[in-house]
Chains A and B, each alone.
Chain A
Amino acid sequence: EAGVAQSPRYKIIEKRQSVAFWCNPISGHATLYWYQQILGQGPKLLIQFQNNGVVDDSQLPKDRFSAERLKGVDSTLKIQPAKLEDSAVYLCASSFDLAGGREQYFGPGTRLTVT
């Protein structure tokens, strides 16, 4: 079974530029998550999708971050414009559904450096 795919793996941009990350979850997984992991910290949930609908985006900085999962499969996370403090690893995860206790499967992440 293929795992969660993410691209690109690394990205370096200057502040005020825009960037987009792509995630392909495990086939058949209805729930998709985007996390931000700053160096030395644990992951922080940014947004949770169930199929193509947003379940929770309370920690997504909506003035600069946006995410979509139009067909309920792949998802993109965009930052526009980027700030220095956005430097982090962006992790995508998926689970079969959002029932409590479902194991989340994580992708390898995209490491973003904003200079």
Chain B
Amino acid sequence: SQQGEEDPQALSIQEGENATMNCSYKTSINNLQWYRQNSGRGLVHLILIRSNEREKHSGRLRVTLDTSKKSSSLLITASRAADTASYFCATDNAGNMLTFGGGTRLMVKP
């Protein structure tokens, strides 16, 4: 079963705009991670936020976590065409076993 559900399922924006993706989950977690997957490729780890953290930054990425609402958001600022990919949230509630959501397909138009 998939714990995380991303919203929206698909997002299309212009280069330079910001992209926001949301993730909701059902059970308590140790941490939540975001991964990117380019078409036909493996997944690449982007950022991890622990359950006792509320916000984290990495370059153009900003992640927030609200454990009371069981939700997280990923913000990509000043998007580029190279950001076109699918983005997945994954929850870890024990032993580094990840449960992935269905993903958000992001298209950034040049």
**Residues of chain A having any CB pair with chain B under 8 Å:** 4, 31, 33, 40-45, 48, 55-56, 91, 93, 95, 97-109
Contacts and interface: CB of A to CB of B under 8 A. Distances in A.
Query: Chain B interface residue count: which class?
Result: 20 to 34
A98 to B, nearest CB: 5
B48 to A, nearest CB: 6
A49 to B, nearest CB: 12
Nearest to B102: A42
Interface stretch (B12-20, B38-46, B56-64, B70-78): B38-46
Nearest to A108: B42
A100 B31 contact: yes
Nearest to B2: A42
B96 interface: yes
Contacts of B45: 103-105
Interface in B76-110: 88, 90, 92, 94-103
